């Protein structure tokens, strides 16, 4: 009797376990299928463009909807340049924030600043875009760019680098907005990994008479180097795929910018702008899907590297 | 990012399906006529009980949607090619006309003070004329002080019917532009920077000293932007006024245009504004649901009869009455229900 009760109580549990295991497994597989499906759809959609232009699709800077000649070089260039410039601006600032928060800031101050950084990460990108377009761009167009063009534009050799009409939009402005957007990601990662350094290491260094900066440079950074790079890659991944904020401020021009303030384009931005006016079955639509595929591959590589570096236990 | 677009496209499809109820008609396409369609929709709902659900997703999107029959009608600024209309079994007809105007940001230059020819506009957008005090511009504008500023041409970064109209104009006045760039909803712009939408262009021009851009007339009027005069085909400088737009509209060769794809760009006539265009509706000739198509036709028939004042109020040019009658007969003779009878 008691056996029967135990058995009947056990059977549905076993079934429930199996059901639940099956469901979560399905959920896991679903994500994989979804990811695979997106890649396949993008690739198939982009195939006519890849067939038509071959390898030169990657190297051609032509984007001419009238002649139906499409090349990905300008948006790829713009995507990489804005992302790298953004990193160059964001990393030092993010490092400063993380350094201050983990080593120097009074304890009561760390929480509000930490929360503020996390909130910054939660601001929708369209807000950054509008802020960039209505606040930063006029300042750039009115003051910064005319000043630089007047003062540096006439210089020999590097002068051309600062020439052109002061639109306010362009590669530089886009990189600036992007850097603000990725700072929270990089700073938060840095702060978290800095605080994983065992106190005993730091205290030993202090015991030897090291200054705070020496502890940072010789103990904390070597200990966390790999994870810090992983955090930077995370920021890079976000910068590569950002669409709306960049679209607002980059100037949307399918030419390789020859000046730092010159307008350009990014992959995400050109897809967002051109998609609505692309006829189904046209070479243009196919080229946009091919661009999407390329962006997917670039982002995937960057994120894969960051995952690898951020893996628990991965230390230099 | 493409995934986002796909998802929003799906969501749009769902929204269109959800809206599919009695007396509702759905359309998608051009953004340029969206304000007047919305206005007509509100008025028609009150007057004849037909509710219009119009999605302003762009001309190209509208053509795609009607070819796939996901909406009751498509709307586009650029006329669809004759072959596409043929294979897609679509009837195309015009609704209203609009004008594209040029705006500038030049300190000290007032509304409609600056005069420029079409050829020079093409040169500016090609990057051949780089400074506002270029001798050619100065020559045309005696008495206007032109600053030594770089010209900053601004164009639509998103694919747009407005760009199609503007580049068509540049192509028709400049053989060089026609050969090197051409006319389309988005082209390979040789110079300048892009901005998204009419508001993006006007904001960029406002921000940039020396900026020049092109926007729909309604947008320029509502925002009191600084427009300029353009020299038309008859060699007269014209200001962008309703009178000038209407003059161009009546100068079009409506009778000779196939599928109503009349060319209103750079027409003859001393009063004609040179950059005027028509916006179109595409309707299936073989509707699956005859009643819905009948409602679409009823809606536009009502709008032709009662919507002229509303259109003018929004700075559009209503269709001439004679053309309306030709469209009505096309509806009657070309749009057949499944039973082989005209739906309207």
Dump pLDDT digits (tens) for A53-88: 988 899 888 888 888 889 999 999 999 999 999 999
Dump pLDDT digits (tens) for B222-275: 888 999 999 999 999 999 999 999 899 888 888 778 888 888 899 888 999 999
Longest dimension (CA), chain A: 99
For residue B17, pLDDT beyond 60 = no
Instruction: Choose the closest CB to B150 out of A164, A268, A271.
Output: A164
Q: Cα distance from B343 to chain A (closest Cα, Å)?
A: 29
Between strands B24-29 and B51-55, the pairing is parallel
> pLDDT-based confidence at B30, cuts 50/70/90?
confident
| A313 CB-contact burial (10 Å; exposed 0-12 / middle 13-18 / buried 19+) | exposed
| pLDDT at site A82 | 93
Instruction: Choose the closest CB to A276 out of B58, B149, B193.
Output: B58
Q: Do B150 and A169 touch (CB under 8 A)?
A: no
Provide, rounded to the nearest whole percent, the portion of chain A with pLDDT above 70: 92
Average pLDDT over residues B63-75: 91
> pLDDT-based confidence at B14, cuts 50/70/90?
very low
Residues B86 and B40 sit within 8 Å (Cβ to Cβ): no
For residue B155, pLDDT beyond 90 = yes
- For chain A, the structural domain boundaries read 56-309
Provide, rounded to the nearest whole percent, the portion of chain A with pLDDT above 90: 42
Average pLDDT over residues A88-106: 92
Helix (H) / strand (E) element for B100: namely strand B90-105
> pLDDT-based confidence at B18, cuts 50/70/90?
very low
Cα A59 from Cα A286, distance rounded (Å): 17
The phi-psi region of residue B299 (left if phi > 0; otherwise alpha if psi is between -120 and 50; otherwise beta) is: alpha
For residue B21, pLDDT beyond 60 = no
The angle subtended at Cα A240 by Cα A234 and Cα A243, nearest 5°, is: 120
Q: Cα distance from B302 to chain A (closest Cα, Å)?
A: 29
> pLDDT-based confidence at B323, cuts 50/70/90?
confident
Q: Do B150 and A165 touch (CB under 8 A)?
A: yes
The number of angstroms, rounded, from the C-alpha of A26 to the middle of its chain's C-alpha atoms is 30
| pLDDT at site A316 | 45
Whether complex ipTM tops 0.95: no
Q: Do B1 and A241 touch (CB under 8 A)?
A: yes
Q: Cα distance from B226 to chain A (closest Cα, Å)?
A: 18
| pLDDT at site B16 | 46
| pLDDT at site A121 | 84
Beta-carbon neighbour count of residue A23 at 10 Å? Answer: 10
Please list, in sequence order, all residues whose beta carbon lies within 8 angstroms of the beta carbon of residue B319, skipping any fewer than 6 positions away: B94, B95, B96, B97, B304, B327
Q: Cα distance from A27 to chain B (closest Cα, Å)?
A: 19
**From residue A89, how far is each of A103, A139, A152, B69 by CA, in Å?**
22, 19, 21, 49
Interface residue of A62, A138, A167 to substitute, partner B, most B CBs within 10 Å? A167
Average pLDDT over residues B87-94: 92
> pLDDT-based confidence at A3, cuts 50/70/90?
low
Dihedral (CA of A90, A91, A93, A95) sign: positive
| pLDDT at site B153 | 93
Q: Do B204 and A268 touch (CB under 8 A)?
A: no
Radius of gyration of chain A from Cα atoms?
25
**From residue B135, how far is each of A22, B140, B300 by CA, in Å?**
78, 9, 50
Average pLDDT over residues A169-190: 92
| pLDDT at site B124 | 95
Comparing CA positions, the residue from A242, A269, A243, A265 lying closest to residue A254 is A265
Provide DSSP, B243-282.
Answer: HHHHHHHHTS-TTT-GGG----BT-SSTT--SBEEEEEEE
Considering only residues 129 to 148 of chain B, which have any Cβ-Cβ distance to chain A shorter than 8 Å? none
| pLDDT at site B288 | 85
- Give the CATH number of domain A56-309: 1.10.3720.10
Q: Do B188 and A63 touch (CB under 8 A)?
A: yes
DSSP A64: E
Between strands B90-105 and B317-318, the pairing is antiparallel
Interface residue of B63, B156, B193, B199 to substitute, partner A, most A CBs within 10 Å? B193
For residue B58, pLDDT beyond 60 = yes
Comparing CA positions, the residue from B333, B229, B300 lying closest to residue B72 is B300
Provide DSSP, A74-101.
Answer: HHHHHHHHHHHHHHHHHHHHHHHHHHII
Partners of residue A271 in chain B, C-beta under 8 Å: 1-2, 5
Model pTM? 0.80
For residue A100, pLDDT beyond 50 = yes
Average pLDDT over residues B81-91: 90
For residue A5, pLDDT beyond 90 = no
Q: Does B68 lie at the interface with A, CB-CB under 8 angstroms?
A: yes
| pLDDT at site B1 | 45
Q: Cα distance from A114 to chain B (closest Cα, Å)?
A: 29
| pLDDT at site A10 | 53
> pLDDT-based confidence at A12, cuts 50/70/90?
low
Burial code of A209-231, b = ≥16 C-beta within 10 A, e = fewer?
ebeeeebbeebbbebbebbbbbb
Helix (H) / strand (E) element for A215: namely helix A212-215
Partners of residue A278 in chain B, C-beta under 8 Å: 60, 159
For residue B309, pLDDT beyond 70 = yes
Helix/strand/coil for A134: helix
CA atoms within 13 A on the CB side of A231: 23
| pLDDT at site A313 | 57
Range with lowest mean pLDDT among A158-162, B287-291, B308-312? A158-162
| pLDDT at site A267 | 92
């Amino acid at each position: 009797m008691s056996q029967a009760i135990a058995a009947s109580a056990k059977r549905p549990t076993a079934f429930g376990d199996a059901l639940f295991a099956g469901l979560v497994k399905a959920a896991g597989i679903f994500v994989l299928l979804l990811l695979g499906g997106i890649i396949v759809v993008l690739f198939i959609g982009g195939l006519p463009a890849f067939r038509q232009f071959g390898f030169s699709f990657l190297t051609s800077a032509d984007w001419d909807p009238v002649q139906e000649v499409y090349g990905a070089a300008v948006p790829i260039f713009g995507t990489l340049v804005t992302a790298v410039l953004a990193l160059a601006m964001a990393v030092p600032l993010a490092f400063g924030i993380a350094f201050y928060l983990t080593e120097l800031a009074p304890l009561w101050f760390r929480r509000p600043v930490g929360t503020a950084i996390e909130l910054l990460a939660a601001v929708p990108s369209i807000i950054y875009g509008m802020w960039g377009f209505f606040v930063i761009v006029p300042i750039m167009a009115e003051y910064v760019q005319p000043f630089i063009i007047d003062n540096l534009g006439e210089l020999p050799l590097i002068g051309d680098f600062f020439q052109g009409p002061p639109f306010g939009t362009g590669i530089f402005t886009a990189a600036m907005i992007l850097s603000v957007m990725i700072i929270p990601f990089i700073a938060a990662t840095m702060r978290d990994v800095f605080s994983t350094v065992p106190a005993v290491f730091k205290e030993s260094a202090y015991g030897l008479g090291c200054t705070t900066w020496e502890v940072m440079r010789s103990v904390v950074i070597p200990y966390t180097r790999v994870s810090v790079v992983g955090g930077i890659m995370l920021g890079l991944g976000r910068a590569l795929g950002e669409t709306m904020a960049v679209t607002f401020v980059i100037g949307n021009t399918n030419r390789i910018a020859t000046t730092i303030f010159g307008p350009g384009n990014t992959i995400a931005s050109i897809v967002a702008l051109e998609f609505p006016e692309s006829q189904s079955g046209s070479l243009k639509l196919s080229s946009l899907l091919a661009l999407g595929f390329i962006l997917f591959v670039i982002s995937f590589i960057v994120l894969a590297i960051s995952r690898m570096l951020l893996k628990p236990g991965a230390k230099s | 990012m493409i995934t986002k677009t796909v998802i929003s496209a799906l969501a749009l499809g769902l929204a269109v399906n959800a809206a599919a109820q009695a007396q509702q008609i759905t359309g998608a396409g051009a953004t340029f006529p969206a304000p007047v369609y919305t206005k007509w929709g509100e008025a028609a709902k009150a007057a004849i009980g037909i509710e219009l659900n119009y999605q302003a997703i762009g001309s190209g999107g509208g053509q795609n949607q009607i070819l796939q029959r996901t909406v009751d009608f498509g709307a586009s600024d650029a006329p669809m090619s004759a072959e596409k209309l043929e294979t897609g079994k679509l009837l195309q007809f015009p609704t209203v006309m609009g004008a594209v105007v040029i705006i500038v940001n030049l300190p000290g230059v007032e509304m409609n003070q600056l005069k420029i020819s079409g050829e020079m506009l093409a040169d500016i957008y090609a990057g051949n004329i780089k400074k506002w005090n270029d001798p050619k511009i100065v020559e045309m504008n005696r008495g206007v002080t032109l600053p030594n500023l770089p010209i900053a041409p601004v164009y639509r970064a998103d694919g747009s019917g407005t760009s199609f109209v503007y580049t068509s104009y540049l192509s028709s006045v400049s053989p060089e532009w026609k050969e090197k760039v051409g006319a389309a909803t988005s082209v390979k712009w040789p110079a300048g920077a892009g901005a998204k939408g009419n508001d993006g262009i006007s904001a960029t021009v406002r921000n940039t000293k020396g900026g020049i851009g092109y926007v729909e007339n309604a947008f320029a009027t509502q925002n009191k932007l600084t427009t300029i005069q353009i020299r038309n085909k008859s060699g007269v400088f014209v200001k962008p006024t309703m009178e000038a737009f209407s003059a161009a509209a009546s100068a079009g060769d409506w009778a000779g245009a196939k599928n109503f794809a009349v060319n209103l760009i750079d027409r003859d006539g001393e009063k004609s504004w040179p950059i005027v265009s028509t916006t179109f509706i595409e309707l299936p000739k073989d509707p699956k649901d005859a009643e819905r198509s009948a409602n679409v036709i009823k809606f536009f028939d009502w709008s032709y009869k009662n919507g002229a004042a509303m259109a003018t109020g929004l700075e559009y040019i209503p269709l001439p009455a004679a053309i309306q009658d030709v469209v009505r007969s096309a509806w009657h003779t070309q749009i057949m229900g499944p039973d082989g009878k005209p739906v309207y």
